[in-house]
Amino acid sequence: MLLASLWWLGDNYSQPPSQIQLVEHADTDPMMTSQVIRKLAARGLVDRHPDPTDSRARQLSLTPLGAAVLTRALADVETTDENYFAALASRRDAFLADLATLNSANSDRGACDYDQELPPLMNVSPTGHLVRPRHR
């Protein structure tokens, strides 16, 4: 998601986006985003440059390798979507229109409190493995 957001920001604005702009656009946690961007940069998928107008900020851009990886990933997502919705056949457009209607009709209801703390379904162990939390 961060690569796709970075691509979109870079494609729609005249200046490379800052890490803060990426956080705001993707609605992600700043610390998590920073860690992921560092790993993507270490793998050659993202470039980080000092912002010429703010010495504390970094401008981000996709590398050619990052763009290639993103292109393949987006193609995989599209194929997966097509396969998943194939069972709807000719009813697909009507189904998607119905989902859009439901979303629109309920968008101002606050049906789900996203700020509510929920127990995690999985935790990350100190060794980096996913583990189920213990029920108390």
pTM above 0.85, yes or no: no
Query: How far apart are the C-alpha atoms of 110 and 81, rounded to whole Å?
Result: 28
CA atoms within 13 A on the CB side of 47: 11
Q: 32, 15, 14: which is closest to 23 by C-alpha?
A: 32
Q: Tokens 């010429």 identify what position?
A: 52
Measured CA to CA, the distance from residue 98 to residue 86 in angstroms comes to 17
User: What are the residue boundaries of the structural domains of the chain, listed by start?
Assistant: 1-92
Per-residue pLDDT reduced to its tens digit, 84-118: 888 888 898 888 888 888 888 877 765 555 555 54
The 10s digit of each residue's pLDDT in 25-37 is 998 999 999 999 9
Q: Does domain 1-92 have CATH number 3.10.20.740?
A: no
CA distance 128 to 131: 9
